[in-house]
Amino acid sequence: MPIYNAPLDDIRFVLHEVLNAEKLSKLPGYEEATRDLIDPVLEEGAKICQDVLFPINQSGDQEGCTFKDGEVATPKGFKEAYQTFIEGGWTGLSADPEYGGMGMPALMNTVMQEMICAANFSFGMYPGLSQGCYEAIHSFGTDEQKALYCPKLIDGTWSGTMNLTEPHCGTDLGLIKTKADDNDDGSYKITGTKIFISAGEQDLTENIVHLVLARLPDAPEGVKGISLFVVPKYLANEDGSLGERNSGAVCGAIEHKMGIHANSTCVMNYDDAIGWLVGEPHKGLRAMFAMMNAARLGVAMQGLGIAEVAYQNGVAYAKDRLQMRSLTGTKFEDKPADPIIVHPDVRKMLLTGKAFTEGARALAYWGAMALDGSNKEPDTDKRQEADDLLALLTPIMKGYFTDMGSVVANLSVQVHGGHGYIAEYGVEQYVRDARIAEIYEGTNGIQALDLVGRKLAQGYGRLLRRFFHPVQKFIETEGENMDMAPYVMPLAKAFMKLQQSTATIAQKGLKNPDEAGAASTDYMRQFALVAMGYMWAQMVKVALDKIESGDGEQSKEFYEEKLQTANFFFTKMLPEADFRFKSLMSGAEPLMAMKAEAF
């Protein structure tokens, strides 16, 4: 049977000793977000993830969702778990108090997303999508729409979805055909088919609020002609109570999928369904991207969460499984064989998971603090800086974290050997679940194109400076510290090559866009590795300081293990950045020279 224990010691280390998360309490609206509140909330969050969500993860995968006559039933235990979840207020953790939310920092929600996704990936998608729906309506809805929908989405009695994809278009939303006709009473008739709609139908909530992209009759072609509509499963009465069924909004089928079996992936058919415009006509993509950006951060945490639980199970198995003796001689004389954790290759697989999850956790939480700054920072310049950093990091984290979620899940299966390939040990589920995160909310190839095509040039390199400047300052400050040299020097070399890559892509991409496209994935990976190196170097500095002073919150062994894991990252993982540099510098010609007919 699989295991999961929320990594609270490491979470607290990153929050308090590395990032000083308590400084968020100085932002307006976050005054209560001190450590005295942060730690108990996260401890309770860990309990619900471990004790309520994790026990139904494997059974939920095996049972899956069922579909009959337009209705979906979630697996056994999901309704009860969801009720416990919303009773704890977890759906409103960082939502606006004006509508019933707790008003906690987005950082807190990010930490919870990691634990939820590690404990039960499929379950986490239900409240996760509701959060995105809430964000869009809260940002772009009318006062009446916010008053109607936000409290219900926050308390979890209603859920939300996002409806973008159609059978003939996914990434290219300019091709959507779903139409919206004015009813001359403030509402619209929505007609069209949407596919791959996560949580489009389920039995957890009393209502489902669909956000649907559609075209008005006078819409211009392409993405400039897309509008956003809110289309609830049940219409609301004037007092906000549930009214009649919105008969034109129906689930036509659910998909039979590789993974995330306990989350319903639906075909949604809209046939003169009643909906209302959210935001301005033809400006729907802007509103939807408020939801998409929140979703992309959430998907990044899915990658981290799945890597964490896969890593934990790999470690548990490696310590228990007896096979052969150590290459350097018997280590456990009282056993018929040594546990496989003595073998170098097994350790390399496990350390890859450990170094990734701990580095990614620090990077994700830093990004979440930027999100809080972009929302709450009263100083205009600081708010812009935070928003810029978040915009830059979002595609990097979504792309790299989900790629590595699959890598670490596969490594866990490999550690388990044949037992990993069968269902009993549970790790094969992590491989299947992890795979979708590299695809939805914009494939990782699209994330890479977003990075090189939009983020690099935005503000004449302004976004890049939000990352480059603090990294350069850190390298200069710590460069003469001999204890930091094994970490700062490789970071400095990798950072220099990242700057060179950036200049090359900018120069070549202007002349030939294929050059930027060909370099994009390598560049995203290179950037991610340098960002991880920056976070690891900061963690090393804290660990060294705590070991020297002896006043750390964790044990001396904890900090020493940090240094050992950092050594693995800088010597065994960061060198991939050099390979990525060499690959992208080779240009587009090796990719584009061959005629399509030759494939």
Angle at 78 between CA 76 and CA 80, to 5 degrees: 100
Task: For 476-509, write each residue's pLDDT tens digit.
Answer: 999 989 999 999 999 999 999 999 999 999 999 9
Task: For 196-224, write each residue's pLDDT tens digit.
Answer: 999 999 999 999 999 999 999 999 999 89
Give a yes or no: residue 567 inside a domain: yes
Task: For 547-599, write each residue's pLDDT tens digit.
Answer: 999 999 999 999 999 999 999 999 999 999 999 999 999 999 999 999 999 99
- Check residue 219 and report its DSSP letter: P
Mean pLDDT of 21-39: 96
- Classify 550 in phi/psi space as left (phi over 0), alpha (psi -120 to 50) or beta: left
Give a yes or no: residue 470 inside a domain: yes
Q: What is the pLDDT at residue 174? A: 85
Q: What is the pLDDT at residue 367? A: 97
Give a yes or no: residue 350 inside a domain: no
Instruction: Assign 260 a pLDDT band (cuts: 50, 70, 90).
Output: very high
- Which of the following is catalytic: 114, 441, 478, 515? 441
Sequence-distant (6+) residues with CB within 8 A of 143 are none
In the predicted model, is pLDDT for residue 171 greater than 90?
no
- Check residue 75 and report its DSSP letter: P
Mean pLDDT of 100-106: 97
In the predicted model, is pLDDT for residue 28 greater than 90?
yes
Q: What is the pLDDT at residue 292? A: 74
Q: What is the pLDDT at residue 416? A: 98
C-alpha gyration radius of the chain: 24
In the predicted model, is pLDDT for residue 450 greater than 90?
yes
Could you list the residue range(s) of the whole structural domain that residue 518 is in? Answer: 463-591
Instruction: Assign 287 a pLDDT band (cuts: 50, 70, 90).
Output: confident
Instruction: Assign 295 a pLDDT band (cuts: 50, 70, 90).
Output: confident
Sequence-distant (6+) residues with CB within 8 A of 6 are 45, 46, 49, 50, 115, 118, 119
pTM exceeds 0.85 for this model: yes
In the predicted model, is pLDDT for residue 448 greater than 90?
yes
Q: What is the pLDDT at residue 207? A: 98
- Are 533 and 494 contacting, i.e. CB atoms less than 8 angstroms apart? yes
Q: What is the pLDDT at residue 57? A: 98
| pLDDT higher at 295 or 179 | 179
Sequence-distant (6+) residues with CB within 8 A of 366 are 19, 393, 535
Q: What is the pLDDT at residue 144? A: 97
In the predicted model, is pLDDT for residue 290 greater than 90?
no
Share of the chain above pLDDT 70, in %: 100
Task: For 451-462, write each residue's pLDDT tens digit.
Answer: 999 999 999 999
Whether 441 is a known active-site residue: answer yes
- Classify 404 in phi/psi space as left (phi over 0), alpha (psi -120 to 50) or beta: alpha
In the predicted model, is pLDDT for residue 183 greater than 80?
yes
| Range in 14-23, 198-207, 218-227, 344-353 the model is least confident about | 218-227
Q: Which two tokens stand for residue 453?
A: 């095509």
Instruction: Assign 285 a pLDDT band (cuts: 50, 70, 90).
Output: confident
Amino acid identity for residue 582 in this structure: K
Instruction: Assign 293 a pLDDT band (cuts: 50, 70, 90).
Output: confident
Q: What is the pLDDT at residue 551? A: 94
Q: What is the pLDDT at residue 172? A: 86
Instruction: Assign 109 a pLDDT band (cuts: 50, 70, 90).
Output: very high
Mean pLDDT of 505-529: 96
Give a yes or no: residue 581 inside a domain: yes
Instruction: Assign 288 a pLDDT band (cuts: 50, 70, 90).
Output: confident
Q: What is the pLDDT at residue 289? A: 75
Give a yes or no: residue 411 inside a domain: no
Give a yes or no: residue 559 inside a domain: yes
Give a yes or no: residue 584 inside a domain: yes
In the predicted model, is pLDDT for residue 8 greater than 90?
yes
Q: What is the pLDDT at residue 294? A: 73
Give a yes or no: residue 523 inside a domain: yes
Q: Could you count the other beta carbons within 10 Å of the beta carbon of residue 46?
A: 20
Q: Could you count the other beta carbons within 10 Å of the beta carbon of residue 542?
A: 17
Domains identified in the chain, total number: 1
